[in-house]
């Protein structure tokens, strides 16, 4: 049973793959995050990942079940076929991936669709496309998690994107706990993070900070 999209799912959004937790078990990391109260999980296994396609599918099946047990949406990055095979709740696509309209047609209402937008021009195009659930915008700050990251948007840029977008925006890129209140103050629905949670010494406290920042703006 797939979960319907709700903007509140963007409040504490964890993005992770094996390349982000080298030397550790991704399943254990994700379970710790789920126990801590994350509101969404994106399976993004790429880049320096050493997994074969078969291993990625098998691990994805286990992670998908853990998310289902926790009633937390399971979102797959970029890979439509993997997302459908895993019966994911959602898929997230970038500007350089398959055109989002093709993805929306391919998933035909089975999954909700998130789209990366880092400029006002991209937001204006997205506003005209039916079937997009939410927008991921960034990087808000410099990040080491993506080698091909777009230019930094900054808080002022994020505020402009939020104001222009007809969909809720989740901020991504280089976010630290100290910056969460400022991100929430832009009107963003939440923060999507990799390192901030994957490298957190106290995941429960980090997730609580994410939830508290977004609640302060409600």
Residue 96 annotated as binding site: no
Of 122, 37, 17, nearest to 78 by C-alpha is 17
> Long-range contacts made by residues 144-148, C-beta under 8 angstroms, separation at least 24?
144/195, 145/20, 145/173, 145/194, 145/195, 146/173, 147/47
- Examine the residue annotation and report whether 44 is marked as an active-site residue of this protein: yes
Residue 42 annotated as binding site: yes
- Examine the residue annotation and report whether 146 is marked as an active-site residue of this protein: yes
Residue with tokens 């937001």: 123
Here the tokens at position 7 are: 């903007």
Local structure of 26: helix, strand or coil: helix
Residue 89 annotated as binding site: no
Residue 109 annotated as binding site: no
Residue 167 annotated as binding site: no
Residue 77 annotated as binding site: yes
Residue 116 annotated as binding site: yes
> 118, 146, 165, 167: which is the annotated catalytic residue?
146
> 44, 56, 66, 167: which is the annotated catalytic residue?
44
- Examine the residue annotation and report whether 116 is marked as an active-site residue of this protein: yes
The alpha helices in 9-147, defined as continuous H runs, are 26-36, 53-70, 80-85, 100-107, 120-127
Those residues whose C-beta lies under 8 Å from the C-beta of residue 70, and which sit 6 or more positions away, are 34
> 11, 56, 66, 116: which is the annotated catalytic residue?
116
Residue 208 annotated as binding site: no
| Cα–Cα dist 139/17, whole Å | 18
Residue 95 annotated as binding site: no
Residue 28 annotated as binding site: no
Annotated binding site: 42-46, 77-78, 97, 116, 143-146, 174, 194-195
**What positions carry a catalytic annotation?**
44, 116, 146
Annotated binding site for Mg(2+): 78, 97
């Amino acid at each position: 049973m797939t979960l319907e999209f709700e903007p509140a799912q963007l409040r504490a959004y964890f993005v992770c793959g094996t390349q982000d937790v080298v030397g550790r078990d991704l399943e254990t990391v994700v379970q710790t995050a789920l126990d801590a109260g994350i509101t969404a999980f994106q399976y993004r296994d790429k880049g320096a990942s050493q997994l074969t396609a078969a291993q990625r599918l098998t691990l994805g099946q286990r992670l998908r079940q853990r998310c289902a047990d926790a009633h937390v949406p399971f979102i797959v990055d970029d890979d439509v076929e993997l997302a459908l095979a895993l019966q994911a709740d959602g898929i997230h696509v970038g500007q350089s991936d398959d055109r989002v309209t093709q993805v929306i047609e391919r998933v035909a209402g089975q999954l909700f669709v998130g789209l990366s937008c880092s400029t006002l021009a991209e937001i204006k195009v997205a506003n005209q496309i039916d079937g997009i659930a939410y927008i991921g915008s960034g990087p808000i700050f410099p990040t080491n998690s993506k080698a091909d990251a777009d230019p930094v948007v900054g808080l002022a840029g994020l505020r402009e994107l939020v104001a222009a977008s007809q969909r809720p925006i989740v901020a991504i890129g280089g976010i630290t706990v100290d910056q969460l209140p400022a991100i929430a103050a832009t009107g963003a629905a939440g923060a999507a993070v990799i390192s901030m949670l994957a490298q957190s010494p106290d995941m429960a406290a980090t997730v609580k900070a994410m939830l508290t920042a977004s609640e302060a703006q409600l």
